[in-house]
């Protein structure tokens, strides 16, 4: 589905990004000359097998890593450090175990100094959005994997970020929960549109979620291999012939073996 609203300036722009880790003999080349631009409210999936540098790319956009060469921009301003204008969701959930669901979700606004009553209301809204109403007082260890990740999504949303960055968020979930969370992701995204960059190693997940799929090369250093526009109407159906055809095409053309 091409962006309905017509031409938009890029929200995220990556130019010529390469990344090395380590020094001398130990140096590992992780990303090689990545150019990527993401439009406002676009859902871009970065698809690649393990060890393709896709999480590294996400963390560069997050500002957690600095690129070795090249630049990443958000709204035309260079990204140099982490910040609340980008919300991140981690594969390992990474919730604050000593905080309740409410405590986790309200953390962002709290750090910005929003008054308690106001941020509780805001957090409550996002807890509702992800379908966790009634669990405000639960601690993370009392929640299932899928519920933990809902908290992670709500926590990222609560800061009202311009961009959502999701790093294999459903990688640890069982297949059923994973399908369900994919549907939920689309529902949440359609309720509160954001620019989304979603990293995964799962082709089906990529086709289900993405407006565009950026495929990275299967071994280090990660290079852009191909970009697919996904023009399937939403909500998508995993068993729709067009869906399966695209899924098959990506598998064939990129020789991804996952």
Partner 1 sequence: MSNEALLPTSSGAERPKTFREFVSAVFKNVYVLYTISIISFLLLWDAASVLNLLGKFLPRPMEVVYQLYDMFLNPLAGKTLLEHLWFSLRRVLIAFAIAVAIGVPIGLSMGFSKYVHAIVKPVFDLFKPMPPIAWISLAILWFGIGETSKIFIIVIGAIVPCIINSYNGIRLVDPELYDCIRMLGGNKRQEVIEVTFPAAFPAIFAGIQISLSMAWTTVLAAELVGAREGMGFIIITGMNVSKPAMIIGGMVVIALTAWAISVAVTHLERWVCPWKTKLE
Q: Give the residues lining the site for partner 1 (CB under 8 A).
A: 62-64, 81-84, 86-88, 90, 92, 94, 96-99, 107-108, 111-112, 139-141, 155, 159
CB of 84 to partner 1, least distance (A): 3
Residues contacting residue 252 through CB under 8 Å, at least 6 positions apart? none
CA 1 to chain centre: 18
Question: What kind and span of H or E run contains 242?
Answer: helix 241-254
CB of 85 to partner 1, least distance (A): 9
Q: Please, which residue, 20 or 90, has the CB nearer to partner 1?
A: 90
CB of 253 to partner 1, least distance (A): 34
Residues contacting residue 74 through CB under 8 Å, at least 6 positions apart? 11, 12, 61, 85, 86, 162, 163
CB of 52 to partner 1, least distance (A): 20
CB of 105 to partner 1, least distance (A): 10
Q: Please, which residue, 85 or 242, has the CB nearer to partner 1?
A: 85
Q: Please, which residue, 63 or 169, has the CB nearer to partner 1?
A: 63
Q: Please, which residue, 87 or 146, has the CB nearer to partner 1?
A: 87
Dihedral over Cα of 164, 3, 125, 122: its sign: positive
Q: Please, which residue, 90 or 243, has the CB nearer to partner 1?
A: 90
Strands of the chain, DSSP E: 10-21, 28-39, 43-47, 69-74, 77-78, 86-89, 163-167, 195-200, 212-216, 224-229
């Amino acid at each position: 589905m091409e962006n309905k609203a017509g031409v938009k300036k890029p929200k995220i722009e990556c130019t010529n990004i390469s990344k090395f880790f380590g020094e001398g003999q130990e140096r590992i080349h992780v990303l090689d000359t990545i150019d990527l631009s993401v439009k406002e409210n676009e859902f871009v999936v970065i698809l690649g097998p393990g060890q393709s540098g896709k999480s590294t790319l996400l963390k560069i956009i997050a500002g957690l890593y600095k690129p070795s060469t090249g630049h990443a921009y958000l709204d035309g301003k260079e990204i140099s450090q982490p910040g609340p204008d980008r919300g991140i969701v981690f594969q390992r959930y990474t919730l604050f175990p000593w905080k309740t669901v409410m405590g986790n979700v309200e953390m962002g606004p709290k750090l910005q100094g929003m008054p308690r009553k106001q941020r509780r209301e805001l957090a409550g809204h996002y807890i509702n959005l992800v379908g966790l109403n009634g669990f405000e007082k639960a601690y993370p260890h009392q929640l299932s994997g899928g519920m933990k990740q809902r908290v992670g999504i709500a926590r990222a949303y609560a800061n009202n970020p311009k961009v959502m960055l999701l790093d294999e968020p459903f990688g640890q979930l069982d297949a059923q929960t994973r399908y369900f969370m994919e549907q939920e992701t689309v529902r949440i995204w359609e309720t509160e549109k954001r620019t989304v960059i979603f990293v995964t190693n799962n082709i089906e997940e990529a086709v289900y979620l993405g407006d565009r799929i950026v495929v990275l090369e299967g071994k280090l250093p990660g290079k852009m291999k191909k970009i697919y526009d996904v023009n399937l109407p939403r909500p998508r159906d995993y068993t729709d012939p067009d869906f399966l055809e695209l899924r098959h095409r990506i598998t064939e053309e990129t020789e991804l073996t996952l």
